Amino acid sequence: MIRKINPFSVFHATFQADVILHNHLSIKLCFASALLHKPYGIIIQNWLSFKGFKGLLYKWILKKANIIIGVSQAIADHLPYKAIVISNLYDNSLFDLPKEENRQKDLLFVGRMVDGKGAKDLLEAMILLKQENINLTASFVGYGPEEANLIAFVKANDLEQKVSILGPKTQQEVADLMKKHKILVVPSIWNEPFGIVALEGIASGCVVIGTEGGGLKEAIGPCGLTYPNGDVLQLANKIKELIKNPDLFYSLRLYAKDHLKRFTKEIIGENYYNVLQKILFESYS
């Protein structure tokens, strides 16, 4: 464990390593691997810009890597060089189906309270549904600069009896809340690289509704419904579709077990073990 990161410590650790796996593309940390011609792989967790001088350095580091890994097919597709996909994992020891079903609450949002996460879109969808006499409950978990605006929006639109703004919660508390809700909504306006929260919701027995841009739809798979990013009317329609059709709700839940198999820590750990073996074999054979 290296606590003090500086050019000397990075080059020293890189020089001594047999193989290196970078968890994201940091020029400061990856530069030594490329310069010393060490065998290395890079995990790309988010969207990258390849413009300007920084973009040229990104391309140089990626080109010299033995292997590039995207956390979703969407991330892999936006890279300038071929990448394999190893998705992020969820904690399958914490998020799992309850022994008894007691889902008294309808909608759940879990995420940062910022514009791009789309929490307000869910509230606006609830207003559209309310106009059709579909009155649902919703819980919001998370914190951020938009929290005060959301609370004000709830009051201004007379949703206080139906909406709970719960603030930040521990992972255990989130797991417990997911088991009490029917639908997890992930209404991101921006394209998500992946969507661990969707896996957690599916594992807890929720059906997920999320936006279709980026890698989120890969996390949702056959266990939920998707709609175009930022389209509040379509979000309302998807919620109505699930609420009015219990058979659809339960049929989507049937896919959960098979879908989640490839996202457990055991499977993801095995995938990374195989990647390290491949890099070592190709570099030293």
The per-residue pLDDT for range 141-193, each reduced to its tens digit, is: 999 999 999 999 999 999 999 999 999 999 999 999 999 999 999 999 999 99
How far, in Å, are 13, 135, 175 from residue 264 at the CA level? 30, 36, 16
Select from 132, 139, 155 the least CA-distant residue to 104. Answer: 139
CA distance 161 to 154: 9
- Distance from chain centroid for Cα 97: 20
Q: What is the pLDDT of residue 60?
A: 97
Q: What is the pLDDT of residue 100?
A: 75
How far, in Å, are 31, 46, 273 from residue 278 at the CA level? 22, 24, 9
Task: Report the CATH number of the 7-89+264-284 domain.
Answer: 3.40.50.2000
> Could you check whether 7-89+264-284 and 105-261 share the same CATH topology?
yes
CA distance 53 to 63: 15
In the chain, what are the domain boundaries? 7-89+264-284, 105-261
Q: What is the pLDDT of residue 99?
A: 76
Q: What is the pLDDT of residue 62?
A: 98
Q: What is the pLDDT of residue 283?
A: 79
Q: Is the Cβ–Cβ distance between 177 and 95 less than 8 Å?
A: no
The stretches in the chain having pLDDT less than 50 are: none
| CATH class given for the domain over 105-261 | alpha beta
Q: Is the Cβ–Cβ distance between 119 and 231 less than 8 Å?
A: no
Q: How many CA atoms lie within 13 A of 248 on its CB side?
A: 13
Q: What is the pLDDT of residue 98?
A: 84
